Amino acid sequence: MADLEQTQEEPGCWQKKAAYEQCFDKWYTEVFLQQKAHGKVGCRKEYEAYTRCYLSELDKNKTLMDGIKSVMQPETKERFEAQEAKRQQRKSKE
């Protein structure tokens, strides 16, 4: 119980992560495993909210981000940096 209380007080993306995981678990068991997905992916809204949150947190920690990039394969790093540039453009328009 103490761990749960501590987690609820910590800043970050844990609530968005929990919402995505809960949605995905439900979609996986009730839709995907029942072969009702028909090529559609569920929980996109929750996934995008969680992704935006943790990428924003990573943007705040340049040292961590540089460390992550340093171990990426060149193709992965290129793709990530292109996506990062797009996020920055969207952010500047807001």
User: What per-residue confidence (pLDDT) applies to 10?
Assistant: 54
Tokens representing 15 are 């609530």
Nearest to 81 by CA among 66, 91, 64: 66
Domain ranges, ordered by start, for the chain? 1-60, 61-94
Beta-strand runs (E) in the chain: none
User: What per-residue confidence (pLDDT) applies to 31?
Assistant: 94
- C-alpha 57/C-alpha 60 separation (Å) is 5
Residues of the chain below pLDDT 70: 1-11, 94
Please state the pTM of the whole predicted model: 0.65
